[in-house]
């Protein structure tokens, strides 16, 4: 089976599953050297794309955490402003 070329369209779970397939093929003694090289290249691409997906997910989580704490901080700042005016 030739390597897949559209790894960017895979989500994280699909990329992980494909990486598992690649590892199985590379560990198969019947896999030729040229196929191993192509599989290794595909695997590296999948890893880079997965790292990018994880970085984006981490950024989304950080933004969600900031959004969750921001209203509470804003409320406290408004409360302090009211107290200083009284």
Q: Is the pTM of this model over 0.85?
A: no
pLDDT for residue 29: 96
* Termini Cα distance of the chain: 76
pLDDT for residue 1: 47
Report the pLDDT averaged over residues 9-15.
93
* Spatial contact of 8 and 49, defined as CB atoms under 8 Å apart: yes
Q: Residues 25-60: pLDDT tens digits?
A: 999 999 999 999 999 999 999 999 999 999 999 999
Dihedral pair phi/psi, residue 41, rounded to 5°: -65, -45
The residues spanned by each domain of the chain are 7-85
pLDDT for residue 9: 83
What fold does the segment set 7-85 form as a domain? Helix Hairpins (1.10.287)
């Amino acid at each position: 089976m030739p390597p897949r070329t559209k790894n960017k369209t895979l989500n994280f779970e699909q990329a992980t599953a494909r990486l598992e397939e690649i590892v199985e093929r590379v560990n198969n003694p019947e896999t030729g050297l040229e196929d191993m090289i192509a599989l290794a290249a595909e695997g590296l691409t999948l890893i880079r794309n997965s790292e990018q997906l994880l970085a984006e997910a981490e950024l989304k989580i950080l933004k969600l955490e900031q959004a969750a704490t921001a209203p509470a901080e804003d409320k406290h700042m408004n409360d302090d402003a009211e107290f200083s005016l009284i």
